[in-house]
Structure 1
Amino acid sequence: MNWILLVIAGLFEIAFAFCLGKTKDTTGAEMYWWYVGFLICATTSFLLLIYSIRSLPIGTAYAVWTGIGAVGTVLIGILIFKEPANFWRIFFISTLIISIVGLKAVAK
């Protein structure tokens, strides 16, 4: 169950990064709504991380959480914000995914 909460926390980390990205493209009231979304997603992400580390090793949980956030944020950047997707970016994101799966596999 705690692994599921950790993955959900990582998804909320992606969401708060997305909200920050949207604030660059907006002004006025719309920008403030993206900041509200950021605060909600960040708070939810951190609370789920705190809850999940009660029974998971902190080093593994934190690495998986940040890894999910990093991979997801790069993918959001490529797919939504039209950031470049060159060979090396994809290569290193792939190695990060492999590392996250490896950490999960060796965690007790």
Structure 2
Amino acid sequence: MEPTPPPAQLLAGTCLAFHPVPQQRRRADGWTPIMQQCFIRALEAMGSVGQAARAVGMGRRSAYRLRDRPGAESFAQAWDRAISMGGCGSSIMRWIARSTASPPSGCCVAVRST
């Protein structure tokens, strides 16, 4: 049996690039690779795990469980980089403004003004 190649890197070409955490089960409401990508972007923008998790429709505890799963090392590193850059809420607005494409399917980051 040949080894399975690693999944494609998400957010490639950015300092937040990572390989998604392998899914244990396929769930429409779970941590899909797109949800992981949206969470990392929200974490960068908000600087708070709880806020970023809520922004993508997930819970804080669920995010920490994902980070602790086997195979989550790359995701955890992107998480740490996002936290270190976090709190600059305007960064997601700049990303949205630069983007010419629609947001990835299933990405539900809610940007709210305070």
Q: TM-score, normalised by structure 1?
A: 0.31
Which structure is larger by alpha-carbon Rg, 1 or 2?
1
Q: TM-score, normalised by structure 2?
A: 0.30
